[in-house]
Every structure is written in C-alpha cells, then in structure tokens.
C-alpha cells in the first residue's frame, strides 16, 4: 500500500520556515535529508513504501524552505534539529544523501542522544570535492553562474531554473566546501551504528571518501555497490529499501579501497572538472 504524506511548514528563527513531508507508519521515525539540487520530494518513492513513519525535509534554501542563517553545515543541521523538536520527534533514525549526508553527520553529532542510527549515502563533507571547490573558488563567480544552470539542465533535467534554486545551490556549495576542507567532529559526538553506501561509478563524491568516514566513525559498515553512480535513490531503490528495512543488503558490493600509505591531505587547489 502506497502511503500519502502531509506537508508541514515549520517556523524557525529570523522569520524563516522549513518545509517537511511526513508519512505515517508504525515504530520510530526515519528522517531523510536530500542532496544539493534535491528536495523532500526526492524521497517520495522510498518513504511512501516503507512501513515506518518517515519525515523528509526541504533543506534550507531548497524546495519550500527559506535559506539558512549562515553558509555552514551546522546551520543546516541546527534548522533540522529545531524542526524536529517542533514536530515532537525525540528519537529517530537518520538518512542523508550527498550534501544531506554532511548535514546528517553534523546533526548526529549535535543530537547524539536522539539519533539511533545513521545511514550515509555517498555523503559529502568528508573530503574535498573538485566540482564544489572549483565553483566556489575566488574569481570564478561568473563560471559558477554559468555552470550551475548547465549542471541542473543537463544532469538533473530541469527545464526551468529559478534564481532561488541558484542561490540555494551557491550557499550549499559554500557550506560544502568549508565542511570538506575542515570536517567538524565533536569528541563527544555520535557513537551509534553507521552505514555508508557508495557506488563504484560515483564521479561526484568518490568512494575513496569512505576512508574519511571510517576515520570519523570507526564503527562504520561500508558498502560499495557495483555499477552504481551517485544516486542510489534512482539507481538502486530496491537495494536501498532492503537496507533501510532490514539493515542488510544483497546488492553486489566491492570491498572499499585500502587507505594509502602516505597522508592524503593536500593544500593544492583541486583540479577543475570537465563539463563535457
């Protein structure tokens, strides 16, 4: 049976609001955070199928939500935490994709006593990403202005792009770059179960970033699904549902690459992406 959602517009500080879609169900809720260029609608196929209660947010600036108070991942996480309190949600499982993975990790560290499990799908925020670095570099604002609409049209098949979408993407990219350069992890942060999923063919957040996830959360169980790109919601929805429902997956996985013998930290600028 496919469930129907209700929409909630939650007031935040600064006369801002955050939009959430809520699906009914049995048991403790699962909270879903989308990536850049996404929205709560991205999770509709997953949330309408799961038996559990589901809450998917439009992250600040995206969909029906107002921009964050600052271009910082912790500001996004703080807004989601405030919205969950307003909804009366005390304990929950947390799932984040891409940029939403960075926000989910920050939220888990911020509310470690409330998060019962953390699932990260190709999460950003655990290392530097070439595209985000290039589009946010000083002196390249004109490139970003041209490249973001191109990316939205050709990679995400948007026919019309509003100025609001562009501004939300610019702010999120700025927050993402800062998080990737200096990941913030509280010493007393989240220590519960963590599952991280990548695709072998992910060209946005490379599977090698899984090593930094394990450094931040040594308890992480890493799955690298063979032949998948950056979007498990579209490319492996059945395997993702299986993982969320049972905690296990029969998807074909590869062992993550071992950590290099030398330190990976580099102060050199990331290479420019090829838009071709």
> pLDDT tens digits, residue range 215-261?
999 999 999 999 999 999 999 999 999 999 998 888 887 766 555 44
> Number of structural domains, the chain?
1
115 within some domain:
yes
Q: How far apart are CA 257 and CA 58, in angstroms?
A: 33
Residue reference for tokens 């969320």: 244
Lowest mean pLDDT among 143-152, 236-245, 258-267: 258-267
Residue reference for tokens 């799955």: 223
Residue 263 has pLDDT above 50, yes or no: no
Grouping H, G, I as helix, E, B as strand and the rest as coil, residue 140 is coil
Q: What is the model's pLDDT at position 274? A: 36
Q: Over the stretch 28-54, which tens digit does the pLDDT of each residue have?
A: 999 999 998 889 999 999 999 999 999
Q: What is the model's pLDDT at position 231? A: 92
- In this structure, what is the dihedral angle of CA atoms 195, 198, 200, 202, given to the nearest 10 degrees? -170
24 within some domain:
yes
CATH number at 242 reads: 3.40.50.1820
* Domain span including residue 237: 6-128+183-254
Q: How far apart are CA 43 and CA 78, in angstroms?
A: 21
218 within some domain:
yes
204: confidence class by pLDDT, cuts 50, 70, 90: confident
137 within some domain:
no
Q: Over the stretch 152-188, which tens digit does the pLDDT of each residue have?
A: 444 544 445 567 777 888 888 888 888 877 665 655 6
Residue reference for tokens 């009914």: 24
Lowest mean pLDDT among 30-39, 92-101, 146-155: 146-155
Q: What is the model's pLDDT at position 177? A: 82
Q: What tokens appear for 13 in the block?
A: 């500080």
Of 263, 36, 72, 259, nearest to 182 (Cα)? 72
Q: What is the model's pLDDT at position 162? A: 65
Average pLDDT, whole number, for the chain?
A: 83
142 within some domain:
no
CA 162 distance to own-chain centroid? 22
155 within some domain:
no
Q: What are phi and psi of 119, to 5 degrees?
A: -115, 120
Q: What is the model's pLDDT at position 169? A: 80
H or E element at residue 31 = strand 30-33
103: confidence class by pLDDT, cuts 50, 70, 90: very high
Q: How far apart are CA 180 and CA 144, in angstroms?
A: 18
The sheet carrying 6-12 orders its strands as: 6-12, 16-23, 54-57, 30-33, 92-97, 115-121, 194-199, 220-225, 253-254
65 within some domain:
yes
58 within some domain:
yes
More confident residue, 274 or 116: 116
């Amino acid at each position: 049976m496919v469930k129907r959602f209700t929409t909630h517009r939650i007031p935040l500080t600064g006369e801002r609001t955050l939009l959430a879609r809520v699906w009914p169900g049995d048991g403790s809720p699962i909270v879903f955070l989308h990536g850049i260029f996404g929205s709560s609608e991205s999770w509709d196929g997953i949330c309408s199928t799961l038996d559990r209660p589901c809450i998917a947010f439009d992250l600040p600036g995206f969909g029906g939500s107002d921009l964050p108070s600052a271009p910082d991942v912790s500001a996004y996480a703080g807004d989601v935490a405030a919205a969950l309190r307003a909804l009366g949600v005390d304990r929950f499982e947390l799932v984040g994709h891409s940029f939403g993975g960075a926000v989910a990790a920050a939220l888990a560290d911020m509310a470690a006593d409330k998060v019962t499990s953390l699932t990260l799908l190709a999460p950003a925020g655990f290392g530097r990403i070439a595209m985000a670095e290039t589009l946010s570099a000083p002196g390249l604002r004109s490139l970003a202005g041209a490249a973001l609409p191109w990316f939205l049209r050709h990679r995400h098949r948007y026919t019309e792009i509003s100025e609001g979408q562009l501004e939300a993407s610019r702010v999120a990219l700025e927050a993402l770059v800062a998080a990737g350069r200096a990941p913030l992890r509280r010493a007393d942060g989240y220590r519960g179960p963590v599952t991280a999923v990548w695709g072998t063919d992910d060209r946005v957040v490379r599977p090698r970033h899984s090593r930094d996830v394990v450094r931040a959360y040594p308890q992480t169980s890493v799955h690298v699904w063979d032949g998948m790109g950056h979007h498990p919601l579209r490319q492996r929805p059945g395997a993702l549902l299986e993982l969320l429902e049972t905690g296990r997956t029969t998807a074909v996985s590869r062992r993550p690459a071992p950590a290099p013998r030398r330190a990976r930290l580099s102060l050199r600028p990331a290479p420019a992406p090829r838009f071709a």
